[in-house]
Structure 1
Amino acid sequence: MGGHLDQFVTANREHHRLVVQPRMGFGQVHAMREGLRAVAALELPVVGTITLDSHTRVGDYLTPLRRLADGDELNGYPLVSHPVATTRTMLDGLNGPAFPIQVRHGTALPQRVFRRLVRVGLDATEGGPVSYCLPYSRVPLAEAVAAWAESCRFLAGETEHGHVESFGGCLLGQLCPPSLLVATTLLEGLYFRAHGLRHLSLSYAQGPHDEQDRGALRALRALAEVYLGDVAWHVVLYTYMGQFPRTAAGAAGLIRAGARLARDTGCERLIVKTVSEAWQIPSVADNVTALRLAAEEAAGPPEPPTAVQDAFRDEVLSEARSIVDAVLDLDPDIGSALVGAFARGVLDIPFCPHPDNRAVATCVVDGRGALVWGRTGNVPVPGPAREIERLSSDRLLAMLNHVARRYDGEVAS
């Protein structure tokens, strides 16, 4: 059995329904089950999530059990720490064709997570050798590339419909040019395919400029047809991952905008944030409310693209294709190509401090509110680089808070 995520998404795509999904994880087994049950009870096309805790993400499987024994809360479910039988019981009667469940984990070296998720009866997860290494760890990229290769081959060999969602379209959550997000998720998709996986999803994170996002998502879909046309894939949009609005109305407005963006660009799945995102770890009730809000907004008719979106699409498509092709030209082995690309600065994530990232390239929010390259470094994007002065801390802070202030300001006005 298995393959529930792919089957579920495909069935809803055929009926033009957007699948919504929370980012939710709890340390206690009963809390995790109750959270999943609450989401499963919604009369919506919804996927369940088991988000792992921060200790598991760095390979610490003992601390979670000690903390739970002491009555502490965790920020996720310690999948590797809990016994297999315990998690199987927790999932009993939930995971299935009507309610697929995905593991989300943030782990640069994921072998044990992959082995455990298969043992408990799951086959869908997320991440990637770049997207779960550079932004979130100090693990050398070459080690992450090797670890993810082993993990992908294991998932492909042990499951019929093993599914990995690239997190490459969400690098650092903000202040990353859309073409780099599109290129990275495509490269991770190619990497997954090279290691035996035939069921993928490609991600993109909602940014500060709606029309730019619409163009970028159309470019992503067009390029996926070219580079990944021989495997099953769909597109996943993430609600804005930077500083969230602090007012409930502002946060709701941003969630609604993300749902419309997903609907209008044909995204099959939407990862939904909550109105309480800016001040607390969201509760089950917060997640349920946000899922309903997003699904309600996405139910309307799609809006057609505009000339402005067409221009953004063409720009992102050209830049992303240039980046992907430059990386693939470095080495016939895509893992080696990824490592070499970062060593040469062909791939360079703005503001990412990982030792294997050059951090020469920069990104700014321009006068339109769009994300554009500042310095391009060695990233092979066509056209003249937009060289800028050194970013001040005040300008960087303003860019980081741009979206939150805009949505809260709209409410205040």
Structure 2
Amino acid sequence: MNDAGSGAHGTGFGAFVGRAHAAGHLVVQPRMGMSDPAVMRAGLLATREAHATTVGTLTLDSYTRVGDLESAELALLEGVALNGYPLVSHGLDTTRSILDGVLDADFPVQVRHGSAVPEDIFKALMAADLDASEGGPVSYCLPYGRTPLAQSVANWARSTALFASARRPGLEPHLETFGGCMLGQLCPPSLLVAISALEARFFYEYGLRSISVSYAQQTHRGQDREAVAALRRLCTELLPDAQWHVVVYAYMGLYPQTPSGTFALLGQAAELAVATGAARLIVKTVSESLRIPTIEENVSALEHASAVAARTVRGTPPDADSETYAEASALVEAVMNLGPDVGHGLLTAFARGYLDVPYCLHPDNTGLSRSYLDEDGRLRWAVTGKMPLTRTSGVAPARSVSSAELLSSLSYIRRTFDSGPAGDSSAEERIAPRGA
């Protein structure tokens, strides 16, 4: 089974998304996490009641993400608000009270966390009968701290196997890769696609059969479509009997600061998801560049994305035999040939520089690669380091990237969308917040 529709007749998070996709609906989802149980419950209820096909999110706090449970518990005792929901520290009874009457077959909930040490998180979500989470041994290690990659791979191997063991009638564990979102920006799509596909294969090798693969909207619409097509082709090859779907993320870098710019960019993310056959979209809000969004702002983003998706026609998917696929396939092939399983392959690949994330400062990242934006807004390799990309057609001779060019590239999307109407989804077409 090779796409969201294939798993439409089961139960759980993946099956819900599959049913929605088969019915022609894009599932939209917020990043939402509040430490106050009452507010968290209100956020889930508002998401469920939005005029869109939605799933809920419990996004965890920073202390829980890094395994500092003592600080999370102290904050709760002192009444200090956290930047997410402390799933482990709140305890099972509190989480069940939040989910009671909210979580069901028509409204699944995913736990999102960002941890390289996720075992306690998986134990807590499994105890609460939650069946969906996300992350990965590379994508939740390299960008977020200095945890050794070998330790993260071992942690994720244990946690994935543990999560897979929760499978039973009525519950199919689901994991989403975060590999398609590495660093948020300035990572050429081929590397995003390769890491997302490899993390999916990692989950598969540890027993999971309900998987989603991520890709974050980048700087060029055509290149993004090529990337999602390449990701779908690789997953067909790497996940032969799994139920899987693609999840697109609205742009992860510096977000526009104007309402018109934010809604236009989000609208293009929804169009990308529909046009490429993705089943789910993670939204961003009008306040994204300023502060943590309110529940109302999240609902407005969900409804706007859903409205754009509903009027977007699913076209003919782009040719999967693209420059992006050629590069991504070369990277995946190199890793798969390096060890008895993907975990060993990933460690060896990073040690040798076969995988190398540009501008990533983690000690286990070689740090030789660099990227740039060309005149059309496509992300290109400036320097490939030791990555096995010389045989692919799109790699140009090495070039330097100045600090001024790097800073300009980082703000490219913000400047483009804040300067005026962009794309097909103008501010006038957006869904206004309720009560406006």
Normalising by the smaller structure, the TM-score range is over 0.9
Matched residue, 2:157 = 149
Q: Quote the residue 1:347 is aligned against.
A: 355
**3-state SS, counterpart of residue 236 of structure 1:** strand
1:194 aligns with 2:202: no
What secondary structure is seen at the aligned counterpart in 1 of 2:377? coil
Which residue of 393, 398, 405 maps to 2:415? Answer: 405
- Quick check: 383-392 or 366-375, which moved more? 383-392
Give the letter aligned to residue 306 of structure 2.
A
The question of 1:89 aligning with 2:100 is answered: no
Match of 2:193 in 1: 182
2:214 counterpart SS class: strand
Deviations 1:154-193 (A, max 9, x none): 0111233111100010000110111111111110111101
Which 10-residue stretch deviates more, 159-168 or 46-55? 159-168
| Distance of 1:400 and 1:353 partners within structure 2 | 17
Aligned equivalent of 1:237, options 239, 242, 248: 248
Which residue of structure 2 aligns with residue 299 of structure 1?
310
Q: For the residues of structure 2 that align with 1:19 and 1:40, how far apart are their CA atoms?
A: 12
Which ranges of structure 2 fall in alignment gaps of 5 or more residues?
Answer: 1-9, 427-436
One-letter code aligned to 1:394: A
Instruction: Look up the match of 1:27.
Output: 35
Tell me by how many angstroms 1:105 deviates: 0.2
How do 1:261-300 residues align onto structure 2 when only pairs under 5 Å count? 261-300=272-311
Equivalent of 1:315 in 323, 335, 350: 323
Alpha-carbon RMSD: 1.7
Q: How far apart, in 1, do the equivalents of 2:376 and 2:76 lie?
A: 48
How do 1:1-400 residues align onto structure 2 when only pairs under 5 Å count?
3-160=11-168, 161-302=172-313, 304=315, 310=319, 314-381=322-389, 382-383=392-393, 385-400=395-410
Distance 1:394 1:38, change over 3 A: same
Q: More displaced, 125-134 or 387-396?
A: 387-396
CA distance in 2, matches of 1:386, 1:289: 42
The number of residue pairs the alignment matches comes to: 409
The Cα offsets for residues 79-114 of structure 1, whole Å up to 9 and x where unpaired, read as: 011111111111111111110000000000111001
Match in the other structure for 2:6: none
Q: Aligned equivalents of 2:257 and 2:247: distance in 1? A: 25
CA contact (8 A) 1:3 1:162 kept: no
Separation in structure 1 between the aligned mates of residue 155 and residue 78 of structure 2, nearest angstrom: 33
Aligned equivalents of 1:8, 1:355: Cα separation in 2? 40
Residue 411 of structure 1, CA deviation: 4.1
* Cα drift, residue 305 of structure 1: 5.0
Using the aligned pairs only, state the percent identity.
48
The code of the aligned residue for 2:141 comes to C
Q: In the alignment, is the contact (CA less than 8 A) between 1:212 and 1:313 conserved in 2?
A: no
CA distance in 2, matches of 1:18, 1:97: 17
